[in-house]
């Protein structure tokens, strides 16, 4: 039974009843309801428990400011945590739960915290759980378990999200009276306009208003204007869309909650001009027990009555320090509720609305304040005191009035969030007692209530003004736009009332909540000041004021005022905390957009990928590349397959798809000069047709990348880079050419994808190529180690490199990627007689480690010089190159630097875990000095025992010393320091 639903009125569709469930019980509402209005219609007033003290909480607001009704919506993988019931549109079958309270929201064990609430003062966790420090991890688990709000879904999100990039001339944030006027002006002038509003329909505060515009109800006017705006071709109207971020150069982000197959959409808008018209947020009044269910903002009360036809209480007390709340009293009155009293802290009372209230027979109590509330799970009454305006001291709360609804208004705060995010400051307006947008620093105009214009007439005017200013700045002609007529009432000014005096001392009275979501009270802020906090940002972090998902939209300003009072400063002197995006919480799903699963990152496959797949390869990701990891035969695991692949390569013939190596073509008359400065070796001395192993250093002298480079002609080179470093190296080379040495004529071209590389390695590799009628003589004389020839192989033009990353006699075949797959197949067929064995990255790693060849990025980590790798022979003394000067810095010359060594486990069987730390003395007191770590470690099938490479402080002077390798979860392993070259130290095989 929707007991609180009014018989008529509202913008709901009574022909469309909707069933929903809340905390396991079934209810009914109507299309057009929010979850909050539907709950109120069903007289559900206890919605949740508070964060720290587990106090009963109800709905307090009607929009983005709601701090209490934060619910878990939906079930399973679709569930949405922490949604504001005030902004969840009711749908058939909707399921919602309270996010706090165990076993349930009505009976909550944690409410015991409230009994002992004096213990839970500001900084409680810091003060209580710091000792002994070793137990912090345990405490943290318990605290995190009892805190927090809703549950995150455990399964991947099955819904789709998307991002849209958009440009516009004018972006209008907010479709209330000011936003509509600005958008109308912009639309009529022919500008490209985006009008975004977080509500389900345009109108903003007009949807709860009975005001008249141009002689007709405001909502009619809204419909006419919104229809006209939507009719322009270049206008995009986004409903259910929150402008949540304002970034540099007028870049704004909007989340749109859609109804189609896309659940949410993120708009990323670059706007030439922005009009900010998000309106204002009503402030609470800070009296004792102001958090009880049934205490509600005046604007929310009007909204529930007029927009949703829901009467949230039968007998109300209205408590205010300004005129606006009188409207709520009139709305309550005309909806049939009894107004026990309007308690107005001002002795002057209200203007025109006050007269209307009196005419309606509503009792008004000027010069009074509500000091306390009775009732726990629902308001049952208030205590009232007469007040002379003194903020110090205590008052005598002698009047009791029974009621089930307390309607409060502490005035309005312009929603300056986006303005602040844009980088601009806010200015304190003493006459309005609020922060208003200060001077804009980006191309934006604030308008309407968000600009401190409260009356409807002012809002309409200010909206039109802002629209015209934005249009003029964007270079559009002034449109023909008349500001419609609206009434303007005589208003008595608001009198600030940041903290309501109580019958007790403010530090001892029942809780006066500033931040409902985080249970921060007046006493907490005052305590922080007594403990020495002065800065609002520090007080925020200490008391959690404004730290919740609502970011303190409601009572933050009161908190600042309470802080100012305690410090004896003014509010502008205390200032605001920083407003950061997002304005309201944004789901992770829409942040990720389409970039999930397969679309997270592009996948790169080599030209031979199909063959690898059909041959049962296991793959590993190397950057974006999918590379064959190993090729298991039936029944083989990784170790068995790798052992077989290694032995086959060493004994006869292996074949590797090395296409992912970065490949760069370098041409130009200054190619030698350029490469001399890049590589450490003497590039100029290289003969045409010869290859060299090259390393590049950063200017800090650390090894950055390595690879084979070949001189193809006087002015032409071919470089290879590591698979992962290809793009970075190309960028690095370009940066030097363009910024430092623009006088050099050199052209760099990436040919990584255009050419595929097939490595054939092993004693039979030469025979294999012979078999395929290789067009060049492969003998040592014509084709020595480290040389390159153009050739034809089985009729396919190729570039042949005699290089070896395995230590075996080996060739790398570069071939146009279009021919790579047939060539691979040809090699496989021809190699059958040599038992040709495809191998993957794992075997490649083992073979190179047996030879002591490092992998940059695995055996080095950005703090390793070529000297540390024992590569002095590669460092030219005759020229300068990038990083050379750094190698003679004192730190690089230390003899106790970590140096590349080999490691053998003493038991000859244990494979040391990669990443294990190396220590000298097991009995050394903590902190144990670290000698270094293990960077590569494998079982070598060839040698019949495990091998490892590592970096060890002063390692070369520690030959044959025993150290301990220790990794988490393992016993320490005794390991002997040896040469990093385990196999064929005299390089006889590759030169064979």
Partner 1 sequence: MFLIECPWCGERAETEFSYGGEGGITRPAEPDKLSDAEWANYLFMRTNPRGAHQELWNHAQGCRRWFGVERDTVTYHISRSYVLGDGVKD
Name which of 214 and 700 has its Cβ closer to partner 1.
700
Name which of 535 and 738 has its Cβ closer to partner 1.
738
Token reading at 296: 């509600």
Q: Nearest 5°: CA angle at 546, between 300 and 327?
A: 20
DSSP code at position 416: -
Among 15, 26, 137, 249, binds partner 1 (CB under 8 A): 249
Name which of 639 and 670 has its Cβ closer to partner 1.
670
**What's the CA gap between 549 and 584, in Å, rounded?**
7
Q: Is 785 in the site for partner 1 (CB under 8 A)?
A: no
Q: Is 684 in the site for partner 1 (CB under 8 A)?
A: no
C-alpha distances in Å from residue 501, one per residue of 366, 389, 512: 16, 9, 10
**What's the CA gap between 991 and 123, in Å, rounded?**
72
Token reading at 554: 């409601």
Shortest Cβ 258–partner 1 spacing (Å): 23
Q: Which residue in 311, 307, 293 sits closest to 33, CA to CA?
A: 307
From 375-383, 731-739, 760-768, 778-786, span contacting partner 1 (CB under 8 A): 731-739
From 102-110, 191-199, 247-255, 510-518, span contacting partner 1 (CB under 8 A): 247-255
Name which of 120 and 251 has its Cβ closer to partner 1.
251
Token reading at 928: 């144990």
Token reading at 301: 């009360």
From 92-100, 111-119, 284-292, 882-890, span contacting partner 1 (CB under 8 A): 882-890
Name which of 157 and 700 has its Cβ closer to partner 1.
700
Q: How many whole angstroms from its chain centre is CA 644? A: 46
Task: Find the binding residues for partner 1 in span 192-211 (CB under 8 A).
Answer: none
Number of other residues whose CB lies within 10 A of the CB of residue 165: 9
Q: Is 735 in the site for partner 1 (CB under 8 A)?
A: yes
Q: Is 749 in the site for partner 1 (CB under 8 A)?
A: no
Q: Is 877 in the site for partner 1 (CB under 8 A)?
A: no
Q: Is 886 in the site for partner 1 (CB under 8 A)?
A: yes
Q: Is 734 in the site for partner 1 (CB under 8 A)?
A: yes
Q: Please enumerate in sequence order all residues whose Cβ is within 8 A of that of 71, keeping only pairs 6 or more positions apart, or say none.
A: 22, 35, 47, 48, 82, 83, 84, 85, 88, 96, 97, 98, 99, 150
Shortest Cβ 743–partner 1 spacing (Å): 9
Name which of 654 and 662 has its Cβ closer to partner 1.
662
Q: Is 270 in the site for partner 1 (CB under 8 A)?
A: yes
C-alpha distances in Å from residue 819, one per residue of 480, 605, 837: 68, 15, 20
**What's the CA gap between 247 and 466, in Å, rounded?**
20
Q: Is 885 in the site for partner 1 (CB under 8 A)?
A: yes
Name which of 738 and 979 has its Cβ closer to partner 1.
738
What 3 state SS string does 946-967 have? EEEEEEEECHHHHCCCEEEEEC
Number of H helices, E strands in the chain: 24, 49
Token reading at 701: 């002298």
Ranges assigned E (strand) in 55-159 = 56-57, 70-73, 80-84, 94-98
Among 615, 738, 749, 773, binds partner 1 (CB under 8 A): 738
Helix (H, G, I), strand (E, B) or coil at 171: strand
Among 124, 129, 139, 251, binds partner 1 (CB under 8 A): 251
Shortest Cβ 951–partner 1 spacing (Å): 23
Q: Is 268 in the site for partner 1 (CB under 8 A)?
A: yes
Token reading at 40: 């109120």
Q: Is 124 in the site for partner 1 (CB under 8 A)?
A: no
Among 156, 215, 231, 890, binds partner 1 (CB under 8 A): 890
Token reading at 989: 């095989």
From 343-351, 426-434, 479-487, 878-886, span contacting partner 1 (CB under 8 A): 878-886
C-alpha distances in Å from residue 273, one per residue of 228, 517, 749, 819, 881: 21, 35, 41, 54, 50
Shortest Cβ 735–partner 1 spacing (Å): 6
Number of other residues whose CB lies within 10 A of the CB of residue 489: 17
Name which of 315 and 677 has its Cβ closer to partner 1.
677
Shortest Cβ 581–partner 1 spacing (Å): 12
Name which of 862 and 985 has its Cβ closer to partner 1.
862
Q: Is 699 in the site for partner 1 (CB under 8 A)?
A: yes
Among 430, 880, 906, 921, binds partner 1 (CB under 8 A): 880
Shortest Cβ 124–partner 1 spacing (Å): 37
Shortest Cβ 249–partner 1 spacing (Å): 4
Among 76, 336, 423, 684, binds partner 1 (CB under 8 A): 423
**What's the CA gap between 258 and 260, in Å, rounded?**
6
From 276-284, 345-353, 717-725, 734-742, span contacting partner 1 (CB under 8 A): 734-742
Shortest Cβ 245–partner 1 spacing (Å): 10
**What's the CA gap between 648 and 645, in Å, rounded?**
5
Q: Is 248 in the site for partner 1 (CB under 8 A)?
A: yes
Helix (H, G, I), strand (E, B) or coil at 692: strand
Q: Is 667 in the site for partner 1 (CB under 8 A)?
A: no
DSSP for 5-70 reads B-SS-SS-EEEEEEEEEETTEEEEEEET-BHHHHHHHTT----EE-TTT--EE----SSTT--S-E
Helix (H, G, I), strand (E, B) or coil at 426: strand
Name which of 430 and 699 has its Cβ closer to partner 1.
699
Burial 125-140 (b: 16+ CB within 10 A, else e): eeeebeeeeeeeeeee
Half-sphere exposure of 523 (CA within 13 A, CB side): 19
Among 162, 636, 700, 920, binds partner 1 (CB under 8 A): 700
Name which of 735 and 782 has its Cβ closer to partner 1.
735
Shortest Cβ 272–partner 1 spacing (Å): 11
Shortest Cβ 593–partner 1 spacing (Å): 13
Shortest Cβ 441–partner 1 spacing (Å): 6
Shortest Cβ 862–partner 1 spacing (Å): 14
From 300-308, 469-477, 499-507, 881-889, span contacting partner 1 (CB under 8 A): 881-889
Name which of 376 and 884 has its Cβ closer to partner 1.
884
Task: Find the binding residues for partner 1 in span 156-185 (CB under 8 A).
Answer: 165
Q: Is 862 in the site for partner 1 (CB under 8 A)?
A: no
DSSP code at position 736: I
Shortest Cβ 549–partner 1 spacing (Å): 25
Q: Is 534 in the site for partner 1 (CB under 8 A)?
A: no
Name which of 716 and 884 has its Cβ closer to partner 1.
884
**What's the CA gap between 278 and 463, in Å, rounded?**
11
Shortest Cβ 444–partner 1 spacing (Å): 14
Q: Which residue in 753, 760, 791, 718 sits closest to 607, CA to CA?
A: 753
Among 109, 130, 360, 441, binds partner 1 (CB under 8 A): 441
Q: Nearest 5°: CA angle at 835, between 830 and 841?
A: 100
- Site string (282-321) toward partner 1, x via CB under 8 A: ----------------------------------------
* Residue 721 near residue 907, CB atoms below 8 Å: no
Shortest Cβ 250–partner 1 spacing (Å): 8
**What's the CA gap between 265 and 287, in Å, rounded?**
41
**In angstroms, what is the C-alpha Rg of the chain?**
37
Q: Identify the H or E element spanning 592.
A: helix 588-592
Residues that bind partner 1 (CB under 8 A): 165, 247-251, 268, 270, 423, 441, 699-700, 731, 734-735, 738-740, 742, 880, 884-886, 889-890
């Amino acid at each position: 039974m929707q007991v609180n639903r009014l018989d008529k009125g509202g913008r709901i569709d009574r022909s469309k009843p909707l069933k929903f469930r809340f905390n396991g019980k079934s209810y009914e509402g109507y299309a057009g309801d929010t979850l909050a209005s539907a709950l109120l219609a069903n007289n559900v007033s206890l919605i949740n428990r508070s964060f720290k003290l587990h106090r009963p909480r109800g709905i307090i607001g009607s929009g983005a400011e709601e701090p209490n009704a934060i619910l878990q919506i939906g079930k399973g993988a679709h569930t949405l945590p922490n949604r504001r019931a005030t902004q969840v549109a009711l749908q058939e079958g909707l399921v919602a739960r309270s996010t706090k309270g165990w076993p349930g929201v009505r009976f909550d064990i944690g409410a015991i915290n409230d009994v002992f609430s004096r213990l839970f003062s500001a900084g409680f966790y810091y003060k209580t759980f710091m000792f002994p420090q070793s137990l912090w991890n345990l405490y943290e688990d318990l605290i995190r378990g009892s805190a927090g709000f809703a549950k995150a879904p455990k399964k991947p999100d099955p819904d789709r999200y998307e991002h849209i990039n958009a440009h516009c001339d004018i972006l209008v944030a907010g479709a209330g009276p000011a936003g509509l006027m600005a958008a109308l002006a912009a639309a009529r002038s022919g500008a490209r306009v985006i009008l975004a509003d977080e509500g389900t329909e345009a109108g903003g505060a007009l949807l709860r208003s009975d005001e008249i515009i141009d002689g007709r109800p405001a909502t009619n006017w809204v419909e006419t204007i919104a229809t006209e705006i939507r009719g322009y071709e270049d206008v995009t109207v986004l409903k259910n869309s929150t402008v949540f971020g304002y970034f540099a150069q007028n870049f704004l982000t909007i989340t749109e909650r859609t109804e189609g197959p896309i659940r949410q959409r993120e708009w990323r808008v670059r706007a030439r001009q922005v009009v900010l018209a998000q309106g204002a947020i009503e402030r609470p009044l800070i009296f004792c027990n102001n958090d009880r269910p049934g205490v509600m903002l005046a604007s929310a009360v009007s909204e529930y009555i007029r927009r949703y036809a829901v009467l949230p209480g039968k007998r109300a007390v209205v408590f205010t320090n300004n005129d606006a709340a009188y409207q709520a009293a009139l709305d309550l009155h005309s909806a049939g509720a009894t107004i026990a009293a309007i308690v107005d802290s001002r002795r002057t009372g209200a203007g025109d609305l006050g007269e209307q209230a009196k005419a309606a027979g509503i009792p008004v109590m000027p010069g009074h304040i509500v000091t306390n509330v009775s009732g726990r799970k629902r308001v049952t009454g208030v205590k009232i005191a007469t007040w002379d305006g003194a903020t110090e001291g205590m008052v005598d709360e002698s009047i009791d009035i029974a009621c089930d609804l307390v309607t409060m208004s502490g005035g309005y705060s312009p929603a300056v969030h986006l303005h602040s995010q844009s980088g601009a400051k806010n200015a304190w307006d003493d006459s309005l007692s609020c922060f208003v947008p200060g001077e804009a620093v980006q191309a934006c105009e604030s308008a309407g209530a968000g600009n401190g214009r409260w009356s409807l007439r002012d809002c309409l005017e200010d909206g039109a003004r802002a629209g015209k200013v934005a249009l003029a700045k964007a270079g559009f002609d002034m449109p023909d736009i008349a500001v419609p007529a609206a009434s303007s009432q005589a208003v008595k000014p608001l009198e600030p009332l940041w903290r309501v005096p109580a019958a007790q001392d403010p530090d001892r009275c029942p809780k006066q909540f500033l931040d409902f979501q985080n249970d921060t009270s007046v006493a907490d802020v005052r305590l922080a000041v007594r403990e020495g906090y002065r800065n609002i940002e520090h007080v925020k972090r200490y008391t959690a004021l404004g730290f919740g998902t609502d970011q303190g939209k409601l009572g933050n300003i009161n908190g600042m005022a309470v802080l100012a009072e305690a410090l004896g400063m003014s509010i502008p002197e205390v200032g605001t905390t920083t407003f950061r995006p997002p304005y309201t919480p944004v789901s992770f799903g829409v942040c990720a957009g389409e970039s999930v699963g397969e679309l997270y990152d592009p996948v790169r496959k080599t030209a031979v990928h199909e063959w690898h797949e059909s041959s049962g390869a296991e793959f590993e990701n190397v950057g974006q590349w999918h590379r064959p990891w190993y090729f298991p035969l039936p029944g083989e695991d990784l170790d068995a397959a790798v052992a077989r692949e290694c032995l086959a390569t060493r004994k006869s013939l292996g074949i590797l798809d090395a296409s992912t190596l970065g490949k760069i073509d370098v041409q130009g008359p200054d190619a030698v000069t350029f490469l001399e400065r890049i590589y450490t070796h003497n590039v100029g001395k290289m003969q045409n047709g010869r290859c060299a192993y090259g390393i590049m250093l950063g200017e800090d002298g650390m090894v950055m990348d390595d690879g084979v480079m070949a001189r193809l002609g006087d002015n032409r080179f071919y470089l290879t880079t590591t698979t992962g470093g290809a793009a970075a190296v190309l960028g690095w080379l370009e940066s030097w050419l363009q910024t430092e040495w623009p006088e050099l004529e050199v052209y760099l071209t990436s040919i990584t994808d255009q050419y595929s590389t097939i490595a054939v390695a092993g004693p039979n590799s030469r025979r294999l190529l012979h078999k395929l009628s290789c067009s060049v003589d492969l003998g040592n004389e014509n084709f020595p180690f480290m040389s390159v020839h153009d050739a034809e192989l089985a009729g396919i033009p190729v570039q042949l490199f005699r290089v070896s990353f395995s230590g075996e006699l080996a060739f790398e075949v570069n071939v146009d990627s279009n021919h790579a797959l047939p060539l691979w197949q040809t090699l496989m067929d021809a190699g059958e007689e040599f038992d040709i064995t495809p191998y993957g990255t794992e075997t490649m790693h083992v073979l190179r480690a047996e030879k002591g060849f490092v992998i940059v990025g695995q055996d080095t980590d950005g703090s390793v010089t070529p000297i540390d790798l024992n590569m002095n022979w590669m460092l030219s003394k005759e020229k300068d190159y990038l990083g050379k000067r750094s190698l003679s810095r004192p730190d690089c010359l230390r003899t106790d630097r970590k140096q590349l060594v080999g490691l053998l486990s003493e038991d000859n069987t244990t494979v040391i875990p990669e990443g294990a730390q190396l220590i000298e003395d097991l009995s050394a007191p903590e902190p144990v000095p670290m000698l270094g770590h293990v960077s590569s470690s494998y079982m070598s099938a060839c040698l019949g025992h495990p091998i490892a490479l590592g970096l060890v402080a002063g390692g070369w002077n520690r030959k044959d010393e025993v150290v301990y390798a220790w990794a988490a979860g393992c016993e320490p392993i005794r390991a002997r320091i040896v040469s990093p070259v385990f196999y064929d130290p005299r390089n006889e095989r590759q030169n064979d």
